[in-house]
Amino acid sequence: MNTQPKVIALDQIAEVIAEKFNTKDEITCYVGSNAATPTACLMALTDAIKLRRPRLPFIKMVHLLLQGPVPYVAEGLQDRVMTFSAFSGGDVRIAANEGRAYYLPCTLANLVSLISEGRKYEPDVVFFKVRQNEYTGEYSLGLSVEALHTAIDHAEVVIAELDGSMPFTQGQSVVDAQSIDYLIEDGVQPVYHFAAPDFENLSPAECRIGELITDHFIHDGVTLQVGIGKIPDAVIGTIKDAGYKDLGVQTELYGDGLMLLEKQGIVTNRKKKANLGYSTTSLIMGSRELYDFVHMRAGVQMRPSAYTNSADTVRINSPFISVNTAIGVDMFGNVWADFIDPRRYYSGVGGQPDFIRALNDRAYGTPIIAIKSITDKGQSKIARLHPPGINLTASAYDGVVIVTEYGIADLRELTSGEKAIAIASIAHPKFRDDFLRSVYEDPLFTKHIGGYLDKTPDGVCMYAGGIQLAETS
């Protein structure tokens, strides 16, 4: 029987949950994420939690990055609702740093393992957005698939916001009507969109990083995973002007830059071994133009993050280039991205470790960590040692390639001493000599006889292009 979801109002959400779980003291709710955050549902549920009407069980809210207001992390509600966030920003980041929300460290490839049947965060309720196909009546998860299929399969109450502002995406984003219990049609807020990258006004440092990565690692037929941000934008900006062809895309997050490469015919996906002919992603986030581009487009298809980020899928699509950024790197080759220091939580590990570990053999490709050498405050992003107690997205044994505006440090197959010298060599000039001196003077870092005083260290390629940096950069 082809049953259709029941249409309810936002103020009925709490009543549905209260009635369904009237014998439970605690339930878990999984929330769709990123640009497709179901804000209207979250606000309606929070209103009921604040009023304590109807009586609701204690609710654990599990999710990735949420856009917009997240009202249930407000002070004073933690006896009724608590956040467990695998990636955070905005309100949730503040709450986590103030002890009002939990950070749940987890890579995107492993997210399904947290919420599967019998696991600690198996959901009772799931909220997400859908777009309906006006011709077929099918529903699509649109901009956010990540682990939602697993959540839908195991939740007892499935509530979807029907949002016509969201694109209908292809691939494994389609949800049958029978899997949705309740549909919200009125009062739904549109999906979140963001300004497209300004490729013409990137900083000289960012442009140099893009140039280094493109010149040394990109070639015809490679498959790309490129994050969102100014440094990944710089990589896209140099690729689009370099004349490469038949690139492929397999990524966790598809943004405006990858759309641009696809529009220009640089990305064709014709050389991929898996998902031949189309880009694959688990999330889409960016401009309104991007959302219009992916709407009903067979050339961009959604997959769960357990697939897009799996080592098997990455390796089969080799040669594979992964470009991500980080908060810092130390001279052992340790990388961190979710904490600034042990007392300041920033975001999450996302899928960075997934791609790094998948590319632990250079036969499959290259895992690149691209960072500017200094922060906006002039502090070095390269440190002698990582902050104690901090999470690492890459360890010394992972063998990543570090790129700053001053050069490339390919850490693969280097000893600890060689890694340290390579990383110190691409630090900002204000810090470089002190870093190198500390390595040469420290017996812990075994060096080759004669050192590297008169030659470029192993694994290092210094920037030799023509983009000039300001003296203060």
Residues 458 and 334 in one domain: yes
Confidence of residue 3 (pLDDT cuts 50, 70, 90): confident
pLDDT at 448 over 80: no
Please, which residues have CB within 8 angstroms of residue 417's CB and are 6 or more apart in sequence?
Answer: 439, 445, 446, 447
Domain containing 148 equals 6-184
Decide: 17 and 41 in contact? Cβ < 8 Å. Answer: no
On whether residue 334 sits in a domain, the answer given is: yes
Q: How many domains in the chain? A: 2
Question: How many CB atoms sit inside 10 A of residue 377's CB?
Answer: 5
How far is it, in rounded angstroms, from Cα 431 to Cα 287? 38
Same domain, 76 and 21: yes
DSSP letters, 268-323, are --TT-SSSTTSEEESEE-S-HHHHHHHTT-TTEEE--HHHHT-HHHHHHT-SEEEE
Do 117 and 33 sit in the same domain of this protein? yes
- Whether 21 contacts 57, CB under 8 Å: yes
Which residues make Cβ contacts (< 8 Å) with residue 390, sequence separation at least 6?
336, 339, 341, 342
Is there a domain that residue 471 lies in?
no
Segment 263-291 shows an average pLDDT of 97
Q: Are residues 143 and 215 in the same domain?
A: no
> Of 127, 156, 184, which residue sits at a domain end?
184
> What's the CA gap between 47 and 35, in Å, rounded?
22
Distance between CA atoms of residues 27 and 60, nearest Å: 6
CATH number for the domain that contains residue 110: 3.40.1080.10
Selection from 304, 305, 375 nearest residue 341 by Cα: 375
Q: Which residues contact 237 (CB under 8 A, 6 or more apart)?
A: 197, 199, 202, 207, 210, 257
Is pLDDT at 228 greater than 70 in this prediction? yes
**Measured distance CA(393)–CA(362) in Å, rounded:** 18
Q: Which pLDDT tens digit goes with each residue over 98-144? A: 999 999 999 999 999 999 999 999 999 999 999 999 999 999 999 99
Same domain, 169 and 236: no
Mean pLDDT for 443-468 is 81
Distance set, CA 199 to CA 203, 216, 232, 260, 443 (Å): 10, 20, 11, 11, 45
Q: Say whether both 23 and 72 belong to one domain.
A: yes
Average pLDDT value for residue range 284-309: 98
In a domain, 228, yes or no: yes
Single out the residue in 141, 157, 184 at which a domain terminates. 184
Residues in CB range of 43: below 8 A, 6 or more apart: 10, 69, 71
Read off the CATH number of the domain in which 309 is found: 3.40.1080.20
The CA-atom distances, in angstroms, between 323 and each of 250, 262, 310, 347, 400 are: 12, 18, 16, 18, 10
For residue 237, report the phi and psi dihedrals to the nearest 5 degrees. Answer: -60, -35
Q: Are 119 and 19 part of one and the same domain?
A: yes
Q: pLDDT tens for residues 109-122?
A: 999 999 999 999 99
pLDDT tens per residue across span 58-70: 999 999 999 999 9
Residue with token string 């690692």: 217
Average pLDDT of the residues of the chain: 95
Pair (284, 409) in one structural domain: yes
Report yes or no on 72 lying in a domain: yes
193 is a domain residue:
no
User: Does residue 467 fall inside a structural domain?
Assistant: no
Specify the DSSP element, H or E, that contains 192.
Answer: none
Q: How far apart are CA 32 and CA 425, in angstroms?
A: 43
Q: Is residue 190 assigned to a domain?
A: no
Say whether both 45 and 79 belong to one domain.
Answer: yes
Look up the pTM and report it: 0.95
pLDDT, tens digit (0-9, with 9 covering 90-100), for 332-382 = 999 999 998 888 999 999 999 999 999 999 999 999 999 999 999 999 999
- 177 and 218 housed in the same domain: no
User: Rounded to an integer, what distance in angstroms lies between the CA atom of residue 3 and that of residue 205?
Assistant: 56
Answer yes or no: do 143 and 217 share one domain: no
Determine the distance from the C-alpha atom of residue 300 to the mean position of all C-alpha atoms in its chain, rounded to a whole number: 18
290 and 413 housed in the same domain: yes
Q: d(Cα 372, Cα 329) in Å, to the nearest integer?
A: 11
Structure tokens of 279?
A: 């880009």
Q: Which strands form 170-171's sheet, in the order they lie side by side?
A: 170-171, 300-302, 279-281
Handedness of CA 163, 167, 168, 170 (dihedral sign): negative
pLDDT grade for 252, boundaries at 50, 70 and 90: very high
CA distance 65 to 89: 6
H or E element in which residue 129 lies: strand 125-132
Residue 260 C-beta-side C-alpha neighbours within 13 Å: 19
**Residue where a domain terminates, one of 158, 184, 210:** 184
Mean pLDDT of 198-225: 95
Q: Check whether 256 has a pLDDT greater than 60.
A: yes
Within 13 Å, how many C-alpha atoms sit on residue 46's CB side? 19
- Domain for residue 260, yes or no? yes
pLDDT at position 343 is 86
Taking 60 as the threshold, does the pLDDT of residue 473 lie above it? no
